[in-house]
Chains A and B, each alone.
Chain A
Amino acid sequence: MAVQMSKENRLVRHLPKILTYLVLSIGAFVMVLPFIWMVLTSLKIDSEIFGDSLKWLPGQLDFKNYRDAFVQTNMARLFANTIFVTVISVASQVILGAMAGYAFARLQFKGKNILFFSLLATMMVPFEVLIIPVFLFVRGFPLAGGNDVFGHGGTGLFNTYAGLIFPNLISVFSIFLFRQFYLRFPHEIEEAAIVDGCSRAGVFWRILLPNSKPVIATMALFAFLWSWNDFLWPLVVVKKDALKTLQLGLSLFNQEQGTQWAELMAASTIAVVPVIILYLTLQGFLTKGAVTSGID
């Protein structure tokens, strides 16, 4: 009897936890199902996809769709372009963000606050709103693409790697993130270095930047996702096949292929898997970074 009671008690006590698990699992299933469905579809043959009843699992393990998608989209080129654009964008956003963040957090100069807050205010302005002037600026870039000194006559940086990368060189968010980090960074180390004869620029390059790994990792991940997944700007600024990025190439493949679902899903899988792998590997580092950055 007593045993019975405690068993019931245990059930009641654990009920909230069981419910939590149940609700979370259903939700997680809904979040992940589209990806599972993508992978399953990518392995199927047409008769399995267009059959009368829905078939969950592919009948064989055949990577033909992957080969077709890889060749038809010229995937190697798309990847190379995207990696090139992303690496430069990430490096630029991190380094310029860290430099500006250091200046705003650690240096005293006239007009600092007004400058910082006017930059911060632009964070609210969506890029989509400014696409016309930015496009015109890139197209009218002086002495590029057949343009004269005043930016007339040619197409400027339109249809070039430089044009593709240009709006991704800087992010206000990065400046903000590094500033917050450097505001909390202990002053003693910096002062000791200056007493020992280190210049201010040296303090930044030798002491602050090497100790910013958590912020660098966080910012690099964000910048990577923005640049890798960027779609509107490449769509607008690139028309040449040789310059197309992964997202742009995929969207065109999507329009051309219509209902070739297996190949479309294979292409999607190829595009999304590297991002997921990178996120999972960086994630451990990011949580560690968050823990250590909380200590100071």
Chain B
Amino acid sequence: MDVVTQTRATKQQRKSLGQRLYKFYNSQTFVAILFLIVPVGLLIILKIYPIFYNLYLSFTRYELFEPPKYVGLKNYRYVFENSVTRQSIWNTLLFTIEAVPLGAALALIVAKLLDENFYGKIMYRTLYYLPVISSIVVSAMIFRWIFNPQQGLLNYFIGLIGIPPQTWLSDPNLALPSLVMVTIWGSIGGNMIIFLAGLQDIPGEVLEAAKVDGANALQRFTHITIPLLRPVILFVVVTFTISTFRNFGLIFMLTQGGPLNRTNTLVWEVYMSVFGNLRLGRGAALSMVMLVMVFILTLLSFRVLRERQG
């Protein structure tokens, strides 16, 4: 009798210990820790700690085989005083100015045309999206062949309308515009998808009402669609700009920063400082300049959005 009650008691105790353990195991905080520890840990290693370590490195002289040595603002002075690095900042901006407005406008036009219901819509959307799924390396190889001065397809086409053949990638004035061409070709599909999603959110009644009031298609587009689409346009412009800042593959494959440094952008300069000349401190300073540019752009766009909504 005694033994039985005793075992029952310990059993109950054990059970309640198990229950308490289970309760702890099943608490929201514990499950959250369990589920977040790996993803958050990885992101701290890959995204958050590197920002601060990069900032530290940008104040040092570091050539990989000796420990970093503090040099103050020397790297930043170099970045803003050296003519090549200054040109790389300017080239980055130029690249963006040439590619983003035109590329975004073309993507918007294609999206608008594809927004109607018609036969073959999905096929067109797929065809426009093909350049996006092709890798930068493959796209660059195809375009290196298309830009070829002797047998290239582009010189063949401009020859048809009487323009003399160009050297494209080795012409200092045409090298950057050539890269811009490839970039726009590769970006239309992705931006088009974002615009299509935005266009679907525009209420049909508004456009219908304007139509009843006698607005033609172009007026409806410029006076209703574009203003209502402003947040989406802003999103595309910001993400597209950041992606042009990051455009490393094309430059590596097609021009290597040349001719005459005309396609030498910040991301190329970072790569060359670090993996070409083993100057990690200088590369870190250049990356910080890039990061600040991205940061300013993002803040500006948020401000524009808030003003619109406010």
Contact = CB atoms under 8 A, between A and B. Distances in A.
A254 B253 contact: yes
Interface residues of A, number: 84
Nearest to A247: B137
B134 A231 contact: no
B83 to A, nearest CB: 23
B82 interface: no
A271 B133 CA distance: 11
A145 interface: no
Nearest to B217: A16
Interface string B142-183: 111110101101001000000000000000000000000000
Nearest to A279: B133
A115 B40 contact: yes
B287 A128 contact: yes
A126 B43 contact: no
B76 to A, nearest CB: 15
Nearest to B295: A124
A34 B136 CA distance: 13
Contact of A199 (B25, B126, B185, B291): B25
B29 interface: yes
B48 A122 contact: yes
A50 interface: yes
A20 B116 contact: yes
B259 interface: no
B188 interface: yes
Contacts of A122: 43, 47-48, 51
A255 B165 CA distance: 24
B206 interface: no
Interface in A154-201: 166-167, 169-170, 172, 175, 199-201
Contact of B51 (A125, A136, A231): A125
Contact of B36 (A100, A169, A200, A275): A100
A228 B135 contact: yes
Given A128-B290, A201-B34, A272-B135, A250 B141 contact: yes
Contacts of B31: 103, 107, 200-201
B195 interface: no
Contacts of B54: 129-130, 132-133
Interface residues of B, number: 84
A137 B287 contact: no
A170 B43 contact: yes
A66 interface: no
A110 B42 contact: no
A99 B270 CA distance: 35
B209 interface: no
A271 B248 CA distance: 20
A11 interface: no
Contacts of B283: 132
Interface stretch (A2-10, A22-30, A57-65, A83-91): A22-30
A17 B120 CA distance: 12
B300 to A, nearest CB: 12
B38 interface: yes
B135 A247 contact: yes
A220 B124 CA distance: 23
A217 interface: no
Interface string A216-251: 000000000100110110011000000000010011
Given A170-B39, A231-B137, A131 B130 contact: no
Given A38-B142, A96-B42, A133 B53 contact: yes
B145 A261 contact: yes
B267 interface: yes
A103 B142 contact: no
A143 interface: no
Given A31-B188, A254-B144, A50 B217 contact: no
B257 to A, nearest CB: 15
Interface string B273-288: 0110000100110011
Given A31-B189, A132-B284, A275-B134, A37 B35 contact: no
Interface string A44-60: 00000110001000000
Contact of A34 (B34, B126, B135, B142): B142
Contact of A35 (B35, B110, B142, B284): B142
Contacts of A292: none
Contact of A232 (B28, B126, B248): B248
Given A122-B43, A259-B148, A272-B138, 13 more contacts: A21-B118, A32-B127, A54-B156, A97-B39, A130-B287, A131-B271, A133-B57, A172-B43, A199-B22, A231-B249, A247-B137, A261-B151, A283-B126
20 contacts: A20-B113, A27-B110, A27-B128, A30-B185, A32-B127, A38-B145, A50-B151, A109-B33, A124-B298, A126-B245, A129-B54, A130-B46, A130-B51, A133-B57, A135-B274, A175-B39, A200-B26, A232-B271, A250-B137, A254-B253
Which 9 A/B pairs are nearest by Cβ-Cβ distance? A133-B50, A229-B135, A130-B50, A100-B39, A122-B47, A133-B53, A103-B35, A170-B42, A109-B32
